[in-house]
């Protein structure tokens, strides 16, 4: 087979990879802000839950998390009479999103805590509530600081999607391995997917750079 004949199935697999990356990155961003802010909460229940989530998902393997959600969760659900079986795409998005969200939560926490204490004092002098100080003072200054780290996490998330092929999800890595097993043309297949992953990573990096510049204007306006 010529390399051009590999392109169509690989592009179909790449589309699944793109969907996995986009959906899990969105979920990860939501988790990052929710649990990063939660870790700074004065409510010990919220803070404890946020810490538990962050430590569990940062301290265990993404591969194990993926296998647990896809293979172990349905068995646990059957034991209590609840259907908890997830489609491969849902399991992949959930595992990737929760994992990257735990790392992102620490980025959010660190960026918020880096805001100068004088800013909070000024908010208090203006009679802002803690919630108002967070949304109107801290986050507009902290978000630009988060963007470079978020860009790295987004690219890392793209690369981590290859693990989803191990639950028979037809992403780029899965399709490539299936074609390689059929043709034994390892050099061509792996070279093609190497460049395809690299191309997708460049797109994500470029998008995050544009987003970083757009968000950076907040800091300029604030000053």
Dump pLDDT digits (tens) for 53-107. Answer: 999 999 999 999 999 999 999 999 888 888 889 999 999 999 999 999 999 999 9
The whole-model pTM stands at 0.89
Confidence bin at 221 (pLDDT 50/70/90): very low
**Is residue 214 predicted with pLDDT exceeding 90?**
no
pLDDT of residue 223 exceeding 70: no
Which residues make Cβ contacts (< 8 Å) with residue 52, sequence separation at least 6?
Answer: none
Confidence tier at 220 by pLDDT (50, 70, 90):
very low
pLDDT band at 222 (very low <50, low <70, confident <90, very high): very low
Which of 67-71, 193-197, 219-223 bottoms out in mean pLDDT, i.e. has the lowest?
A: 219-223
Architecture of the domain whose range is 3-222? Orthogonal Bundle (1.10)
Q: How many CB atoms lie within 10 A of CB 59?
A: 8
Instruction: Give the span between the Cα atoms of 161 and 170, in whole angstroms.
Output: 11
Higher pLDDT, 163 or 128: 163
């Amino acid at each position: 087979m010529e390399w051009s004949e590999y392109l169509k199935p690989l592009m179909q697999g790449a589309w699944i990879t793109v969907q996995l990356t986009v959906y899990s990155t969105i979920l990860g961003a939501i988790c990052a802000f929710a649990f990063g802010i939660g870790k700074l909460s004065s409510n010990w229940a919220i803070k404890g839950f946020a810490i538990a989530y962050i430590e569990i998902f940062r301290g265990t393997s993404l591969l194990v998390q993926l296998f647990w959600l896809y293979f172990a969760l349905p068995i646990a659900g059957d034991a209590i009479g609840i259907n908890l079986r997830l489609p491969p795409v849902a399991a992949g998005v959930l595992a990737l999103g929760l994992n990257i969200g735990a790392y992102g939560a620490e980025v959010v926490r660190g960026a918020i805590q880096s805001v100068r204490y004088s800013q909070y004092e000024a908010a208090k002098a203006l009679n802002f509530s803690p919630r108002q100080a967070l949304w109107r003072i801290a986050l507009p200054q902290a978000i630009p600081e988060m963007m470079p780290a978020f860009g790295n996490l987004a690219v890392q998330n793209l690369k981590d999607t290859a693990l989803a092929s191990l639950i028979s999800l037809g992403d780029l890595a899965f399709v490539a391995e299936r074609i390689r097993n059929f043709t034994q043309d390892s050099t061509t297949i792996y070279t093609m997917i190497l460049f395809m992953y690299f191309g997708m990573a460049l797109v994500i990096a470029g998008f995050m750079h544009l987003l970083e510049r757009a968000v950076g204007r907040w800091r300029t306006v604030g000053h």
